[in-house]
């Protein structure tokens, strides 16, 4: 399995501010995924990030709100912009190692927006 | 759109009881199926997966799941649960050829000692 780390592990933020979440994988991977898990709900895919190309966003998620960077094959960032209390959630990074067709998840970033 | 249903949101069992968690999906084509587990304070971990072949798959910690294509189901089972199985369990589906995982809403299992 892939070893995936995320920073920060948790944060409390004021509305209107932005937070950038970092995801680091222990080896080079083609695809990285960002999910959101709102309180009491399941995981929802925000976007898929390939190195060297624009991220692909799922319905209901837009680049202006959740800009993503993928500067290399082991790292990605997700920014939650202009936050509101509705953005309080756990944000998870995931990757799918080539040939395994199985997604592995990071520990998540628990965000609370006041 | 694809969807995954987990009908049991909360399950409470005593140790040594048998477990079956339901998972149904809606997608007409070929799928890959997964069960993930999230223990308290830990991150999401893969429990088992089905891609093809024997529809009865075995995972870690004594868990197994059976794919019944005609019922669009992938139920998770364990013959005898332990207190350490207390966790949240997520079923997920991925249509073959796609990267996106679609998750169910999860089932919280509490095993009382």
Query: Quick check: A66 and A80 in contact, CB under 8 A?
Result: yes
Reading chain B (113 residues) residue by residue, the pLDDT tens digits are 778 999 889 999 999 999 999 999 998 888 999 999 999 988 899 999 999 999 999 999 999 999 999 999 999 999 999 999 999 999 999 988 787 899 999 999 999 98
Place of tokens 């944000």: A91
Domains, chain A, ranges and CATH? 4-113 (2.60.40.10)
d(CA B67, CA B91): 12
Q: Which of B7, B98, B101 to mutate to test the interface with A (most CBs of A within 10 A)?
A: B101
- Closest A-chain CA to B41: A107
φ, ψ (nearest 5 deg) of residue A41? -120, 175
φ, ψ (nearest 5 deg) of residue A9? -80, -30
d(CA B41, CA B24): 27
Three-class DSSP category at B40: coil
Three-class DSSP category at B18: coil
DSSP label of B41: T
pLDDT on residue A98? 65
Q: What pLDDT, in 10s, does the model give residues A46-78? A: 999 988 788 999 999 999 999 999 999 999 999
Domains, chain B, ranges and CATH? 3-112 (2.60.40.10)
pLDDT higher than threshold 70 for residue A95? yes
d(CA A113, CA A6): 19
Query: A110 to chain B, minimum CA–CA distance in Å?
Result: 11
Residue burial B9-27, b: 16+ Cβ < 10 Å; e: rest: eebebeeeeebebebbbeb
Query: A27 to chain B, minimum CA–CA distance in Å?
Result: 18
Residue B32 to residue A101, Cβ atoms within 8 A? yes
Write down the H helix ranges in chain B: none
Q: What pLDDT, in 10s, does the model give residues A71-89? A: 999 999 999 999 999 999 9
Spatial neighbors of A99 by CB under 8 A, at least 6 apart, are: none
B107-112 vs B102-103, strand pairing mode:
unpaired
CA-based R_g, chain B, Å: 13
pLDDT on residue A53? 80
């Amino acid at each position: 399995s892939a070893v995936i780390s995320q920073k920060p592990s948790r944060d409390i933020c004021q509305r209107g501010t932005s937070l950038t979440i970092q995801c680091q994988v222990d080896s080079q991977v083609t695809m990285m995924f960002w999910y959101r898990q709102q309180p009491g709900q399941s995981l929802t895919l925000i976007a898929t990030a390939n190195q060297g190309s624009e991220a692909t966003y799922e319905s209901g998620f837009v680049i202006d709100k959740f800009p993503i960077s993928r500067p290399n094959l082991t790292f990605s960032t997700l920014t939650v912009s202009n936050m509101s209390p509705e953005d309080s959630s756990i944000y998870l990074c995931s990757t799918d190692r080539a040939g395994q067709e199985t997604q592995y998840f990071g520990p998540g970033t628990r965000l609370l927006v006041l | 759109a694809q969807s995954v249903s987990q009908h049991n949101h909360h399950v409470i069992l005593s140790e040594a009881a048998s477990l079956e968690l339901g998972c149904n999906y809606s997608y007409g084509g070929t799928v890959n199926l997964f069960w993930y587990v999230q223990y308290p304070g830990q991150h999401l971990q893969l429990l088992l997966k089905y891609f093809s072949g024997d529809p009865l798959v075995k995972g870690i910690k004594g868990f197994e799941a059976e794919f019944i294509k005609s019922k669009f189901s992938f139920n998770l089972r364990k013959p005898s649960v332990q207190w350490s199985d207390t966790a949240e369990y997520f079923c997920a589906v991925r249509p073959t050829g796609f990267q996106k995982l679609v998750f169910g809403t999860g089932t919280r299992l509490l095993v009382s000692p």
